[in-house]
Structure 1
Amino acid sequence: MKTSQTTMIFMSLIFLLTTLGVQAQDEPWTLEACILYALQENIRVKQADLTGQRNELYSEQARAAKLPSLSGSVSQNFNWNKSLQTASGQYGSLEGANSTSYGLNSSMLLFNGMKLNNQEKQAELNLQSSYYYAETIKESIELSILQAFLQVLYAQENVTNAQKQIEATTEQLALAEERLNLGMISQSDYLQIKSQLAAEKLTLANAYSVQSIAKVSLMQLMELPVDNGFEIASPLLESLLEKQVQPNAFEIYQQALAIKPQIKMTELDQQSARLEERIAKASLLPSLSLNANLGTNYSSLQSGFDYSSQLKNQISPSVGLSLSIPIFQNKQAQTSIGLAKISITDAELEAINTRNELRKEIEQATVDALSAQSEYKASMEQFQAVRESNEVANEKYQIGLMNSVDYLFEKTNLITAESALLQSKYQLIFTAKILDFYKGIPLTL
């Protein structure tokens, strides 16, 4: 995972340099740049990274718990009392005294049922699991960015198609006006063409609106402030459209099991839960500790020895072993063991559920990809047939062999077929990229 972090930092540096160039040259955003920016700015990703940092501290603490502890102590005491005068049998005046003591205390746990070792292993597992959790969140964001990016491309192409339709209808309206002036067509035929142009202008306005909304959605997913100058790059998609695949859901699922972070995360969580049971059972076993102390003191009541002499001569080291045997713990240990067993079962069920969800997603993605290929092929055939029919109708209309009603019928069919082809095109691209995602192939266009 540290290698992954290093790679991410390296990519981030490249992105920052690239971003400066993009901002200076006003170049459009690529899918890769959008994803990288989103991963840097997304709050959920930052929170996941903080979870990793927190677990890293827990892991360091678990390793340090096996080391001896050392503490120092210093105390200064003052006291006053009246001494008994033996000659007179009376108490004398109040006299003061002071004492000073210094000490070093160290202890080290020698045995506690492997509790510390298991806690260290568990902390490391939790650390690795948090890295995979962060990767899972990042993959989710990447998919969202891909979908939003393709939605913008679809909206842009829809705008282009609407503009082309308006250009063609504008030419037909000019021709209709000439024919009206020559008395070759009726006012009704002319108004039908004019009405069609108005409807197409409304369609273009709606297409612009959808495009703006799609861009805003993408920028918001990226955590990028909305900018009217935001533009995305238009990649070449022909190779994706020409590529015919016959995906095998089982094979893709086997690939995904080996690489997907959510699968690895649940595997680590199961191991952590099993260690939790061992940690809980350790509470039933005796614990053995090694203790060492070193102390010295000074008292003003001792005569004949100065401060340094007393400290030197009264040094008292000690070493000992301490054995603690649990007898009755108010069912705390048994409760902890029972909860740990429940956690193991819960982790196993979560792992099964995660694998099942992944399998279902891949099965659905496979069906979607095959359906998208069929729909795109059918839409392409339909569009080509309708376009040929429209070309014939356009020629007939140009020479006056077709009235406006029949011509607009053919034109409407062309618009409908073109819209269906556009939708099937981007559905095919999206489903193909989803399959790549489950295979572990980076999301690029």
Structure 2
Amino acid sequence: MLRKNISIILCLLSISFVGANAQDAWSLEKCINHAFENNLTIKRQEISVEVQKNELNQNKLNRLPDINASSNYGFNFGETGVRDGNDYVFTTDPIHSLSLRVGGSLPVFDGFSQRNAIKKSEKDLLSLQAEAERIRNDISLQITSYYLQVLFDKELLNVSKEQYNVSKQQVDRTKKLVDAGSQAMGSYLEIKSQAAKEALNVTQQENSLALSLLNLAQLLDLEDVSNFDVVFPEIPAVEQINLEDPKSVFNTAMGIMPQIKASQYSLESKELDVEIAKSGYLPSLSLNYSFTSNGNWYLNDKYDYNRPFSDQFSDNKNTYVGASLSIPIFNKFQTRNRVKTAKVGVLDAQYSLAQQKLDLRKEIQQAYADALAAYNNYLSSNEAVESYKESFRYTEQKFNVGLVNSVDYNVAKTDFIRAQSDLLQAKYSYILRIKILDFYKGIPIAL
């Protein structure tokens, strides 16, 4: 009954994987490009970049003059004396009035505040763009890690299936030997139990693969993850290790890693904050211009005061051109404290940059150590696989002729399976670490 249930489960799972393979599988490059186009964190950072571009543009436009126009209209109630020929008379007719003003100012000198504000906006924009690149890099590495986990689970599933097939054949062979009286029933039961365990291991590996695919699909924010699958690329054989010195990799990474650039631009922006704050110590000069005119009239046109509005507008016009000079003398130490605060911001940005450099150095050193350890593990695991393979083959031959019992056979087989698993783990761990080191050297991630 157990064997029948296992067969049904494997049949259903095989149908599921056939459906998955029926659709277009995703390559690593496709996964990364999809994330770049659809990841919400990247999109939000791109919005921040656009906002900063607008701020930079506005700071540049702030060098242009301000020009404004205003107009007022109203009427007054009450008794008013007006000229009527040579006499003054009083009237309660409302007086209507209209005025117009056009004015503007042009900053000539502001202690270099505006010039430094433009430079600061440029640095902030570069910092945000570098931060966007850092986010893309982090997502690329995360996708690569998840992708390699899927490949590892696929290979491990194949190993499990191969071992299960071997066990099924051994069960059939042992049953025949038991029926012929050449093997004890206990051996058959032990082999059958081992086959059941390996069938369960196949199911567990299929579940692990399904979970790895789900994790990758969710990382890509896919709406439909039911049939998601990936391309299994040709993985090059692990060759003689030739790792570049971590110090050399670090020196290369210092010039290309966006997190370093972002921190450097942020530091330069904070330094410009100091210069902007210092502009409060300097005088400011601006040119000013204004034009004004007005006119009044009564709705009752019996009075001589009702001159044509155009004549009034022309007679009452006034033009002003001048300059304004502001010299700071005492402002309750506000400028001094702004400068102090800006200098503290510079110090914090310096610490942040130093921390980014320290983190980068540690990451590269760790990646180098992990790659070296994974390579050594691979060599050891490869030797172990060959050794356990030969040992299992020899034990299997002796078991087939009744020279060893089923317990020894199962132990030899378990050791062989474990060695294969360790080899795959070391292999993909080494590939990931090599990709990380290449990434720090500016080599695009690809399989």
265-274 or 311-320: bigger deviation: 311-320
SS of the equivalent of 1:230 reads: coil
Asked if 1:401 is matched to 2:398, the reply is no
Residues 107 and 286 in structure 2, CA contact (< 8 A), matched pair in contact too: yes
User: What is aligned with 2:99?
Assistant: 101
Mapping 1:329-368, distance limit 5 Å: 329-368=331-370
Change (3 A) 1:223 1:84: closer
Asked if 1:265 is matched to 2:262, the reply is yes
User: What is aligned with 2:139?
Assistant: 141
Change (3 A) 1:305 1:84: closer
Change (3 A) 1:208 1:366: same
Q: How many residues align?
A: 421
User: What is aligned with 1:190?
Assistant: 188
Deviations 1:350-407 (A, max 9, x none): 0001000000110111111111111101111110111122222223333333332222
167-176 or 283-292: bigger deviation: 283-292
Match of 2:205 among 204, 207, 220: 207
Change (3 A) 1:314 1:113: same
What's the offset of the Cα at 1:91? 8.1
State how far apart, in whole Å, the 2-side matches of 1:86 and 1:403 are: 134
Residues 82 and 91 in structure 1, CA contact (< 8 A), matched pair in contact too: no
Residues 32 and 140 in structure 2, CA contact (< 8 A), matched pair in contact too: yes
287-296 or 305-314: bigger deviation: 305-314
State how far apart, in whole Å, the 2-side matches of 1:413 and 1:254 are: 44
Asked if 1:60 is matched to 2:52, the reply is no
Mapping 1:271-310, distance limit 5 Å: 271-300=268-297, 303=305, 305-310=307-312
Mapping 1:416-431, distance limit 5 Å: 416-431=418-433
SS of the equivalent of 1:353 reads: helix
230-239 or 303-312: bigger deviation: 303-312
Residues 125 and 268 in structure 1, CA contact (< 8 A), matched pair in contact too: yes
Computed over aligned residues only, the root mean square deviation of the Cα atoms, in angstroms, reads 2.2
Change (3 A) 1:84 1:406: closer
Match of 2:223 among 197, 217, 225: 225
Mapping 1:243-254, distance limit 5 Å: 244-254=241-251
User: What is aligned with 2:35?
Assistant: 38
Residues 108 and 286 in structure 2, CA contact (< 8 A), matched pair in contact too: yes
What's the offset of the Cα at 1:84? 5.2
What's the offset of the Cα at 1:287? 0.9
State how far apart, in whole Å, the 1-side matches of 2:81 and 2:29 are: 92
State how far apart, in whole Å, the 1-side matches of 2:122 and 2:432 are: 38
Residues 82 and 91 in structure 2, CA contact (< 8 A), matched pair in contact too: no
User: What is aligned with 2:214?
Assistant: 216
State how far apart, in whole Å, the 2-side matches of 1:423 and 1:375 are: 9
What's the offset of the Cα at 1:79? 1.3
State how far apart, in whole Å, the 1-side matches of 2:181 and 2:139 are: 62
Mapping 1:171-182, distance limit 5 Å: 171-182=169-180
Residues 382 and 417 in structure 1, CA contact (< 8 A), matched pair in contact too: yes
Letter paired with 2:103: N
Deviations 1:298-333 (A, max 9, x none): 222784741223323433221110111222223321
What's the offset of the Cα at 1:68? 0.5
Change (3 A) 1:442 1:181: same
State how far apart, in whole Å, the 2-side matches of 1:437 and 1:253 are: 11
State how far apart, in whole Å, the 1-side matches of 2:256 and 2:166 are: 51
What's the offset of the Cα at 1:105? 0.8
State how far apart, in whole Å, the 1-side matches of 2:251 and 2:240 are: 23
397-406 or 250-259: bigger deviation: 397-406
Residues 82 and 305 in structure 2, CA contact (< 8 A), matched pair in contact too: no
State how far apart, in whole Å, the 1-side matches of 2:399 and 2:82 are: 138
What's the offset of the Cα at 1:93? 4.1
User: What is aligned with 1:13?
Assistant: none
* Long gaps (5+) in structure 1: 1-22
State how far apart, in whole Å, the 1-side matches of 2:45 and 2:277 are: 28
Match of 2:148 among 142, 147, 150: 150
State how far apart, in whole Å, the 2-side matches of 1:93 and 1:311 are: 23
User: What is aligned with 1:127?
Assistant: 125
State how far apart, in whole Å, the 1-side matches of 2:194 and 2:433 are: 35
201-210 or 167-176: bigger deviation: 201-210
Letter paired with 2:347: T
90-99 or 260-269: bigger deviation: 90-99
Residues 216 and 226 in structure 1, CA contact (< 8 A), matched pair in contact too: no
417-426 or 389-398: bigger deviation: 389-398
What's the offset of the Cα at 1:86? 11
Residues 286 and 323 in structure 1, CA contact (< 8 A), matched pair in contact too: yes
State how far apart, in whole Å, the 2-side matches of 1:444 and 1:427 are: 16
What's the offset of the Cα at 1:295? 2.0
User: What is aligned with 1:76?
Assistant: 73
State how far apart, in whole Å, the 1-side matches of 2:220 and 2:80 are: 83
Residues 264 and 353 in structure 2, CA contact (< 8 A), matched pair in contact too: yes
SS of the equivalent of 1:132 reads: helix
* Long gaps (5+) in structure 2: 1-19, 299-303
Letter paired with 2:323: L
Letter paired with 2:409: Y
What's the offset of the Cα at 1:243? 5.2
State how far apart, in whole Å, the 1-side matches of 2:391 and 2:149 are: 30
What's the offset of the Cα at 1:144? 0.8
State how far apart, in whole Å, the 1-side matches of 2:309 and 2:23 are: 79
SS of the equivalent of 2:94 reads: strand
68-77 or 299-308: bigger deviation: 299-308
Residues 367 and 436 in structure 2, CA contact (< 8 A), matched pair in contact too: yes
SS of the equivalent of 1:108 reads: strand
State how far apart, in whole Å, the 2-side matches of 1:83 and 1:348 are: 72
301-310 or 405-414: bigger deviation: 301-310
